[in-house]
Structure 1
């Protein structure tokens, strides 16, 4: 019997390990029992302050035109992003979230059987996208002692079949940052085999020195230092527009031109484009968000360390990664206990001993710490 469409699709069940997103607020509410405070969702690295009021107003205004098709290329938003990133508009490609753009990146710049490298632990979507497109996902472990990039291991993993390297900067879930110097070293190694390096900068706005560490530095000007670098970013995190699925990529004009050909048609709607334009204009709201995250990140990291937990060093995202195994907990048990004690959701399903904690509002951060102190008093497994 001839191979069927289901036979061909069956490889996805064998080869793809789907990324499992964190629980939504509604899902968490269904798990909660009894009364109590509003659920604090510190599990999906969302903005603690939500979207800009200007973005909300733009959505309301545009909603009455929802029966019209949006611009497929989003030129006004692309130009605004170019001003924000200090690049040329022809370098910008707007997409339906940076995760969606990753599918287009793989389709445009790799071929069947090619190898796609990422580090571990990191954003699991990289391997998922590689497998969906019948590329070989290769993972390189980060250094165990500080979750830094092991450049020697990465060099050893690169082969003539390497076509793409994904690096999350800052990295998710560790919140550590691969430096711009290390990124350029990887770009040089990739250039030797004709590979593209993607600097996934979903969390770069939260870094202590984003202007100094962004890979956009190597793409600015008439002659980019490393034309084989592509930057992806999102409006989901610092701009608080996760539900609208908006992202963008920035590369050389040539890279951007090819990526547009692989991008889906109408990747974003007019509602999202209007909201993103308004969010880019509201620099005050962005500054407040970044300040709340920076203060909360330092406070939480310090408090967890004083309670005897090991925290991944020098966190740069809007989250921290905590080794709860250092205090006798498993990650799933710790996350479940915190939720029962305080209705606070943290991410504890990606590791046996590490949890990822998003930075919330000050009151949410304090509620989390109070619950952790209570759990420590009762002992592991009895919260």
Structure 2
């Protein structure tokens, strides 16, 4: 009798991302401080909490399914926000879908756009789950290196990587894990390439609000000629400290949205009603909480960069222009990044994420998140500096 445990090919070829795996390992080690998963330390703003409490008390539908694409009031607020911030005009009834976080929206996009064997270009280093989701869609992730000097978008390299099987390019701007903000000229050049070669752009704009010393980056969706060539994905998680509420959205031309919502229906039916009330309160309420969080993260970025500067020449980095991540290149060992991250976890009690998990260009790097409180940041860098000195003094990591 054959063994019933036969795992599908699509699941066999994917894995839990290191971003989530490292905290799981740290829970077994104990006593760790984190520069790992991108979870800012902020509490959900009080006006959002109060709005949800009122909805739970006063609205009979707060615990029920919503309409499959999301509450009409929330979709209207999302459409108004896209128009105001990006000049991207969408019909809230037919071109916006509320999702279970940006992760579901990304998976919806890939399952809708990608057929078995289709290639999806991912600028590298790129968010680890992008590649896993391409594999889940039975596509082929194609990692194209970012510019080494500034983690900028290398449109010429992307053009060279396009083949007849290329179906899409995933653009994460500002970037996770690099903290880069792509130049508007490069985004425009990528859009021209997409139109020329009939390629879709999946635009992950989760960190669009978090830019240091400048305005939001150019969204491909703001260009009218890109209307049918782009699917926008965004999240309320980081901007409004709603990571645990699991609510995001996708926006696209109505022809695409009708197909995207088929996947949403099969996977989730709808985003949680209570989380949609939270998102509605976030979008329509006061925005000073976002300004306060942005200011705090700017100070934490400066602290993290100063601590890395003090660890030279053992680490170097490109200063992030957005998001809250640094890809720190280590120079004190030739060991692979997964070994370095695990040894730092086990011996130094510091959680980081191995750079290779973000694509081949990420090797010899550790992704560091500076989303936590400054005291925890200082403790993490104290431990990291002490561990690095011990490794250097002992002559390396060994086997």
Q: Calculate the TM-score normalised by the size of structure 1.
A: 0.84
The 3-state SS of whatever aligns with 1:22 is helix
Q: Which among 278, 283, 297 is matched to residue 281 of structure 2? A: 278
Residues 167 and 67 (structure 1 numbering): CA distance in 2 closer, same or farther, change over 3 Å? Answer: closer
Return the offset for 1:43. Answer: 1.3
Q: Name the stretch that deviates more: 128-137 or 372-381.
A: 372-381
Q: Does 1:252 align with 2:248?
A: no
* Matched residue, 2:204: 200
Retained in 2: the 8 A contact 1:166–1:199? yes
Listed as ranges, the matches of 1:145-224 within 5 Å are 145-208=149-212, 211-215=215-219, 218-219=222-223, 223-224=224-225
Where does the alignment leave 5 or more consecutive residues of structure 1 unmatched?
Answer: 34-38
The 3-state SS of whatever aligns with 1:206 is coil
Distance 2:345 2:117 in 1: 43
* Matched residue, 2:365: 354
Residues 13 and 68 (structure 1 numbering): CA distance in 2 closer, same or farther, change over 3 Å? Answer: closer
Retained in 2: the 8 A contact 1:204–1:210? no
Retained in 2: the 8 A contact 1:333–1:381? no
Return the offset for 1:55. Answer: 2.4
Distance 1:58 1:130 in 2: 37
Distance 2:192 2:137 in 1: 26
Distance 2:214 2:226 in 1: 18
Q: Calculate the TM-score normalised by the size of structure 2.
A: 0.81
Q: Name the stretch that deviates more: 331-340 or 304-313.
A: 331-340
Q: Which among 380, 383, 396 is matched to residue 368 of structure 1? A: 380
Residues 163 and 25 (structure 1 numbering): CA distance in 2 closer, same or farther, change over 3 Å? Answer: closer
* Matched residue, 1:68: 64
Distance 2:106 2:221 in 1: 21
Distance 1:77 1:13 in 2: 34
* Matched residue, 2:351: 345
Q: Name the stretch that deviates more: 199-208 or 59-68.
A: 59-68
Distance 1:192 1:377 in 2: 52
* Matched residue, 1:323: 329
* Matched residue, 2:14: 16
The 3-state SS of whatever aligns with 1:213 is coil
Retained in 2: the 8 A contact 1:148–1:178? yes
Retained in 2: the 8 A contact 1:159–1:193? no
The 3-state SS of whatever aligns with 2:8 is helix
Retained in 2: the 8 A contact 1:58–1:278? yes
Return the offset for 1:253. Answer: 4.0
* Matched residue, 1:263: 264
Distance 2:232 2:344 in 1: 36
The 3-state SS of whatever aligns with 1:263 is helix
* Matched residue, 2:86: none
Q: Which among 299, 311, 317 is matched to residue 317 of structure 2? A: 311
Retained in 1: the 8 A contact 2:14–2:132? yes
Q: Name the stretch that deviates more: 88-97 or 269-278.
A: 88-97
